[in-house]
A and B are shown apart, each in its own frame.
Chain A
Amino acid sequence: MTLSESELAARPTESSRLGGTVRVRDVSKVFGQRGDTTVALNRISLDVPSGAFVALVGASGCGKSTLLNLIAGLEKPTLGDVTLNGRCALIFQEAALFPWMTVAQNVSLALKLRGVPRRERAGIVAELLETVHLQDFAGHQPHELSGGMRQRVAIARAFAQEAEVLLMDEPFGALDAMTRDLLHDELERLWLDRGFTCVFVTHNVREAVRLADRVEVLTSRPGTIAETFEVPFARPRRIEDPEVAALAGVITTRLRQEVRSHATE
């Protein structure tokens, strides 16, 4: 099952849709005071064009979360420039929903803080919850939902922010395999539909190949881009597609080589 030519052409890569851009230039990030410092990122550069889906993979501690925080503006780079065009939303590994609010109120708060008038909010919230198939859970508290459902609420909230760049930090890392597969399908569908730009951090190379147009392999600490892999396969994809598995194998080999090179140093 593949998309027809005309549908691919209709894919909203033009600026009319919600695709922001990210430009990271020679960025370094050092944590800590003098004497006791960690270089998390070393002169990393990254360009994410409008509507692209880029995955970042790398060993634990190589600075992936740091990079997303820099792009999101939660941290300032020590050196270099980060340029973000468009509104962005960051989705964490654990859905950072407010536990005292219902699902609908969580989504609605994003609208409210954006200045959307009260009478318009309910309609938009209902629409967004339908988009992530959670219309029946509007009145639930986050703790009454499963981890996968919470992540979908977080995605709905990101849409409520009208995020043009969706930054995702191992968003499905804590989920079981079946839920994760479904959320891959869901995320791909939403991305095809809405045309936002996505930067997706993961430990899981298969997941990266399943979802992204482009997979960036980061070096171990201090992090920088080791190699870029294009993923030319047609969509929608499945994680068990043989070409996905084959490319994931190649990238994993590259990643291991990267980690090994560190051990011998």
Chain B
Amino acid sequence: MPLSDDQGVAVKVLDQELSGLDALAAQVGSARSTPARVWSAIWPKVAAIVLGLSIWQAIVWSGWKPEYALPPPGPVFRALWQGLLDGSILNGASLTLRRAVVGYSIALVVGIVIGLAVARVKVLRIAFGSLITGIQTMPSIAWFPLAILLFQLSESAILFVVVIGAAPAIANGMIAGADNVPPLLLRAGRMLDAKGFTLWRYVILPASLPTFVSGMKQGWAFAWRSLLAGELLVIIKGTPSLGVQLQVARDFADAPALLAVMIVILVVGILADAFVFGALERSVRRRFGLTDSAI
């Protein structure tokens, strides 16, 4: 339809008014510089570490326990440095991390398959829904006797417990995510003619991502705990994993080495949480617009 002059002008005015409003309404990115952001993220952490070390030192000085049982930070960090130099810590950490990655990957596959099946099939939901939550509440250490019966003192026994510790949390994340898709989005999907598999592929699965990632994160926490418990319980000869090093340090009453390994375990856990799962969670939340832009 050809526009009359009047109409052409009217459309142009409308266009201008709309883009004026749009420009006012659209969010502008935060203007804070990167160094300032990094600094404000780092200094509280540094302060917390300094505070923790001071309290530790103060307890040692108070003479609550003899120094051979609770050494001060100095010798512990020397032991840590020693372990880093002779490679024993890196060896142990890489062995333990390899197990964590293998076990967690299996748990991820198992959790996703079970989660999808239970979320999609009503009968399975009724049959296994509460069972999955039940297994999740069971302390994973209770599985070890059975695991040792099944797999003897082997890596498989450890991995078995890691998988059984992590998979239910991952499956639950998947199920809860699929259950909590906003009805409005489901209706929008149906209005676009998405049904069955298409609805899952384009609406339900992506919409459930934030909840699923929370489940993944929780699953990792379970996996990491089960793994360390397993390395302490299931001692395999000739494998200097972090758990074994912990055990050996205790056997030789080598308190600085023991605490040094504990620090490594703590740091690995924090790094995995912050840089893998925390980052994943943040990027998903940002993508979905779930973050408060002020943070």
Partner-B contacts on A (CB < 8 A)? 1, 3-4, 7, 10-12, 72, 74, 89-90, 92, 94, 96-100, 109-110, 113-114, 133-134, 136-137, 140-146, 148-149, 157, 161, 178-179, 182, 185-186, 189, 192-193, 236
Contacts and interface: CB of A to CB of B under 8 A. Distances in A.
B11 A74 contact: no
A158 to B, nearest CB: 9
**9 tightest A-B contacts by CB?**
A143-B289, A146-B25, A96-B188, A133-B18, A99-B288, A144-B27, A96-B184, A100-B206, A113-B192
Given A74-B191, A94-B184, A133-B22, A99 B1 contact: no
B21 A148 contact: yes
Contacts of A90: 187, 191
A92 B191 CA distance: 11
B125 to A, nearest CB: 22
Contacts of B251: none
Contact of B26 (A3, A109, A146, A182): A146
Contact of A149 (B26, B184, B191, B193): B26
Nearest to A178: B21
Nearest to A161: B192
Interface in B169-218: 184-185, 187-188, 190-194, 198, 202-203, 206-207, 209
A144 B14 contact: no
A139 B192 CA distance: 21
A137 B22 contact: yes
A114 B198 CA distance: 12
B18 A113 contact: no
Nearest to A176: B21
B30 interface: no
B10 A7 contact: no
Given A110-B192, A179-B21, A185-B14, A92 B184 contact: yes
Interface of B: 1, 4, 6-7, 10-11, 14-15, 17-19, 21-22, 25-27, 184-185, 187-188, 190-194, 198, 202-203, 206-207, 209, 287-289
B288 A100 contact: yes
B198 A72 contact: no
A149 B26 CA distance: 9
A137 B18 contact: no
Contacts of B287: 99-100, 141
Contacts of A142: 289
B30 to A, nearest CB: 13
Given A1-B6, A145-B25, A236-B10, A182 B206 contact: no
Q: Which of A94, A99, A134, A140 has the most CB of B within 10 A?
A: A99
A148 B27 CA distance: 14
A248 to B, nearest CB: 23
Contacts of A161: 191-192
B188 A98 contact: yes
16 contacts: A11-B1, A98-B188, A98-B206, A99-B288, A100-B207, A133-B14, A140-B26, A141-B287, A144-B27, A144-B289, A145-B26, A146-B25, A148-B25, A179-B21, A189-B14, A236-B10
Contacts of B206: 98, 100
Nearest to B202: A109
A1 B21 contact: no
Contacts of A189: 11, 14
A140 B23 CA distance: 13
B22 A149 contact: yes
B14 A186 contact: yes
A134 B185 CA distance: 22
B209 A100 contact: yes
Nearest to A89: B191
A99 B289 contact: yes
Contacts of B187: 74, 90, 92, 96
Given A133-B22, A134-B22, A145-B26, A182 B17 contact: yes
Nearest to B199: A113
Given A113-B193, A144-B26, A193 B188 contact: no
Contacts of A178: 21
Nearest to A98: B185
A4 B191 contact: no
Nearest to A236: B10
B263 to A, nearest CB: 39
Contacts of B6: 1
Contacts of A185: 10, 14
A149 B27 CA distance: 12
B185 A137 contact: no
A186 B18 CA distance: 9
